[in-house]
């Protein structure tokens, strides 16, 4: 537990050294233009708009919130929000190839969806007009750091694990 906390603290420190908005489209714009979003794990948010989607790693500390509430610029500056959003197409392209048979890529499942719900941490139900999938999505915090720093090789080394199962296969 101590090692995980130290690793997480190190990641957060590294992320905080990056620009607040490491992606092309600011987080508020992604949310404001979204047609839906769902939590897919601790600090992970899937945000979809009319034409695409992003997986965002969102970390906003209590220090920031209380500093904001108290109007304390020092506290706000000490622990600014850490938000990195990666286009879902990029996440899907980098994901480990755990494919069995003909499988629709994760980004296409999301972009064709009409609704989704978080089932549990890392597991999301995604529905389109004619079918649905239950997807297990596991993305390491370091993957987002690699994206924010533009390190493509490191992103591939930290490949996300995404496994989507058609709901029909769950009821057999």
| Average pLDDT for the chain | 85
Query: Region 85-98: what's the mean pLDDT?
Result: 89
Who wins on pLDDT, 119 or 16? 119
- pLDDT category, 40, cuts 50, 70, 90? very high
Query: Region 35-52: what's the mean pLDDT?
Result: 93
Q: What is the pLDDT of residue 100?
A: 60
Q: What is the pLDDT of residue 15?
A: 43
- Sketch the domain layout of the chain as residue ranges: 2-170
User: Is the pLDDT reported for residue 70 higher than 70?
Assistant: yes
User: Is the pLDDT reported for residue 135 higher than 90?
Assistant: yes
- Residues 6 or more apart whose CB falls under 8 angstroms from that of 168 comprise 131
Nearest alpha-carbon partner for 94 in 155, 144, 36: 155
- pLDDT category, 72, cuts 50, 70, 90? very high
Who wins on pLDDT, 171 or 46? 46
Q: What is the pLDDT of residue 5?
A: 36
User: Is the pLDDT reported for residue 12 higher than 50?
Assistant: no
| Cα 72 from Cα 95, distance rounded (Å) | 41
Q: What is the pLDDT of residue 4?
A: 37
Query: Region 11-28: what's the mean pLDDT?
Result: 57
Residue position matching structure tokens 């997807």:
135
| Cα 109 from Cα 40, distance rounded (Å) | 15
**DSSP state letters, 84-146:** EEEEHHHHHHHS-----SS---HHHHHHT-SEEEEEETTEEEEE-SS-EEEEEEE--HHHHHH
């Amino acid at each position: 537990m101590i090692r995980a906390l130290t690793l997480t603290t190190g990641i957060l420190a590294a992320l905080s050294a990056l620009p607040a908005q490491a992606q092309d489209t600011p987080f508020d714009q992604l949310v404001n233009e979204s047609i839906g979003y769902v939590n897919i794990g601790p600090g992970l948010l899937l945000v979809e708009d009319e034409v695409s989607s992003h997986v965002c790693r969102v970390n906003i500390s209590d220090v920031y919130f209380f500093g904001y509430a108290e109007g304390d610029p020092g506290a706000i500056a000490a622990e600014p929000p850490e938000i990195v959003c990666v286009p879902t197409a990029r996440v899907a392209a980098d994901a480990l190839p755990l494919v069995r048979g003909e499988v629709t890529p994760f980004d296409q499942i999301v972009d064709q969806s009409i609704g989704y719900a978080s089932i549990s941490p890392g597991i999301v139900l995604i529905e389109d007009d004619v079918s649905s999938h239950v997807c297990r999505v596991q993305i390491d915090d370091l993957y987002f750091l690699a994206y924010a720093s533009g390190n493509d090789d490191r992103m591939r080394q930290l490949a996300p694990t995404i496994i989507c199962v058609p709901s029909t296969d769950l009821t057999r």
